[in-house]
Copies of this chain bind each other. A is one copy, B any other.
Amino acid sequence: MEKTRRAAVQRAFGDRMRMLRHRLGVSQDEFALRSGLHRTYIGAVERGECNISLVNVVRIAETLEVPPAALLEEAEPVG
């Protein structure tokens, strides 16, 4: 997969995660506490800087109180 496509996948995930976190009404600090993930990591994922692992996708979904699939809705296949 080309570099720009990878970046787009990560950004789409981060944007969706931030939107769902805002909908839940929690800060990055509070989200870090609830998820057990580091605040710096939360920020990096939301900025699309991380190629996050499946286990962390599920952990974040649990903290967001949504099914894991909800985090990938914007990450449709291209073409």
Which residues from chain A sit less than 8 Å from chain B, CB to CB?
Answer: 1, 6, 9-10, 13, 51-55, 57-59, 61-62, 65-70, 72-73, 75-78
Q: How far is the CA of A9 from the CA of B59 in the complex (A)?
A: 10
Residues of B within 8 A of A62 (CB): 77-78
User: Do A57 and B59 form a contact, CB below 8 Å, given A68-B75, A73-B69, A77-B68?
Assistant: no
Inter-chain contact A51/B51, CB cutoff 8 Å: no
Inter-chain contact B1/A54, CB cutoff 8 Å: no
- Copies assembled: 2
User: A57 is contacted by which of B54, B65, B67, B70 (Cβ under 8 Å)?
Assistant: B54
Inter-chain contact A51/B58, CB cutoff 8 Å: no
